[in-house]
Structure 1
Amino acid sequence: MFEHLILAEFYRRFGPAPFLPHVAPREEPFKVLAESIVAQQLSGKAAAAISARLWSKVEPHPEALLQVPLALLRQAGLSHAKAQALRDLAARSLEGLLDGLDSLEDEAVKERLLPVQGIGPWTVDMFLMFGLRRPDVWPVGDLGLRRAAQALFGVEALALPAFGEAFRPYRSHLAWYLWRALD
C-alpha cells in the first residue's frame, strides 16, 4: 500500500509518466537507440546538445548516417567509439535489427540489441522505457536512479532490485518519477 501512496504523490507532483497505460508519443526506434548511445556516461544536458548537433548535420535515419563521413560525426561531438557504434547500429538496422521489436518480450529485445557495438544493458533499458514505452523496466544500473533512491528513500544500490519489486508492474513509472524528483 505504501508503494501506491508513493506513486500517487509523484503523479500529483509530476503528472503521468510517459509509459503505458498513459499514451505518449513515440519516436523512431533508430533515433531513440542512437540518442541512447550518445547519452552514455554523459549528463542529460551534454547528451541533448550533442544529439542536437548530430541531427543538425544528418537526418536521424540509418541510410543517412551511413552516408556521412566519420569526421562529420566526430565534429558533432561524438567520440570515435560512439561514432563507430552509431555506424554499426545503422548498418544492422538496415539488415532488419529493429523490425518487430514491439512484439518481442523484454528479454528477446535484449538478446537482439546487445550484440550491437555500443549497446549495453543500460542502453537496452533506456530503449525499452523510452523507445518502446514499456511500463515495467527497472534500470538498476542507472546512476541517476541510484542517487535518487538513496537520497529519497535511503536505498543503497545493492538493495535497489528488491526495492523495485514492490512497484511491479510500474517500475518504469517509478524510475521516471525518481529522476524527476532528483532534478
Structure 2
Amino acid sequence: MFEHPLLLAFWERHGPAPFHPHPVPRRDPFRVLAESIVAQQLSTKAAETIAGRLWQRVEPRPEAVLRAPLEALRQAGLSRSKALALKDLAKKAMEGLFQDLADLEDEAVKERLCGVRGVGPWTAEMFLMFGLGRPDVWPVGDLGLRRAAKALFGIEGEALAAFGEPFRPYRSHLAWYLWRSLESSPWKGP
C-alpha cells in the first residue's frame, strides 16, 4: 500500500494506523469532538483523566451535557471556557451539526466544526482524523507532531508543511506514526 519507505518502516514498527484504507474504529462523533475539546493544550494523559472524570459525571450524549450544570463540568477538571464549549457543542449537535458530515470534503467539515465555540483548526483536524478516519490530514499546528518531526528528522517551523507533501495521500498515517515515535524507544530509521 505505502510506496514511501519511511511509511513502510513505521508500519512495520507500529502496525497499521487507524485511518482509511485500514479499518477505522467506529466512534460516536459527539464524543470524539467533545474529547478533542477537552484535549486542547493538554498532554494525552491529562486529557484522558479529565475526559474519564467528565463521563463519570455526565453521560457522553448531547442531551445529558446540555442538562448538566456548568459546575458539574467544571468539577471534572474543565476550564470555564471548555465547559462552555461543550455546552455549545451539545446544542449544535442537537441542531444537526453531525448530519451528513462524513459526506463532506475536509475543508467543508472544518468550516462547519469551526462554528462551534472553542473549535479551531487543530480540533477540527483531530476530528477529521479520529472521528472520520480521513487518511490525508496534516496537522502542522500540533505540538507533538512538531516535536517528533524535529527530534527524528530535524524538521522545524515552515519546513513541516513541505515535509508532509511526499506522503500524500497518507499524511494522517505519518502524523500518527510520528506521535507513536514519542511513546516508544528511539527511532533507528528504515
What TM bracket, shorter-length normalisation? Answer: over 0.9
Question: Whole-Å Cα distance in 2 between the matches of residues 123 and 157 of structure 1?
Answer: 20
User: 2:35 aligns to what?
Assistant: 35
Question: Whole-Å Cα distance in 1 between the matches of residues 169 and 132 of structure 2?
Answer: 15
User: 1:16 aligns to what?
Assistant: 16
Secondary structure at 1:166 match in 2? helix
User: 1:67 aligns to what?
Assistant: 67
User: 2:109 aligns to what?
Assistant: 109
Give, in angstroms, the shift of residue 123 of structure 1: 0.1
Question: Whole-Å Cα distance in 1 between the matches of residues 155 and 178 of structure 2?
Answer: 12
Question: Whole-Å Cα distance in 2 between the matches of residues 75 and 66 of structure 1?
Answer: 16
Question: Whole-Å Cα distance in 1 between the matches of residues 27 and 58 of structure 2?
Answer: 16
Percent identity over the alignment is: 70
Q: Deviations over 1:145-168 (max 9, x none)?
A: 001001101111210111101000
Question: Whole-Å Cα distance in 2 between the matches of residues 161 and 89 of structure 1?
Answer: 30
Question: Whole-Å Cα distance in 1 between the matches of residues 24 and 113 of structure 2?
Answer: 23
Question: Whole-Å Cα distance in 1 between the matches of residues 15 and 84 of structure 2?
Answer: 38
Greater alpha carbon shift after TM alignment, 19-28 vs 49-58: 19-28
Q: Does 1:92 align with 2:92?
A: yes
Q: Deviations over 1:131-183 (max 9, x none)?
A: 00000000000000001001101111210111101000000000000000111
User: 1:129 aligns to what?
Assistant: 129
Give, in angstroms, the shift of residue 63 of structure 1: 0.4
Unaligned 5+ runs, structure 2: 184-190
Question: Whole-Å Cα distance in 2 between the matches of residues 93 and 68 of structure 1?
Answer: 15
Matched residue count: 182
Secondary structure at 1:111 match in 2? helix
Q: Does 1:53 align with 2:53?
A: yes
User: 1:138 aligns to what?
Assistant: 138
Divergent runs of 4+, >3 A? none
Give, in angstroms, the shift of residue 26 of structure 1: 1.8
Question: Whole-Å Cα distance in 2 between the matches of residues 142 and 81 of structure 1?
Answer: 20
Unaligned 5+ runs, structure 1: none
Secondary structure at 2:167 match in 1? coil
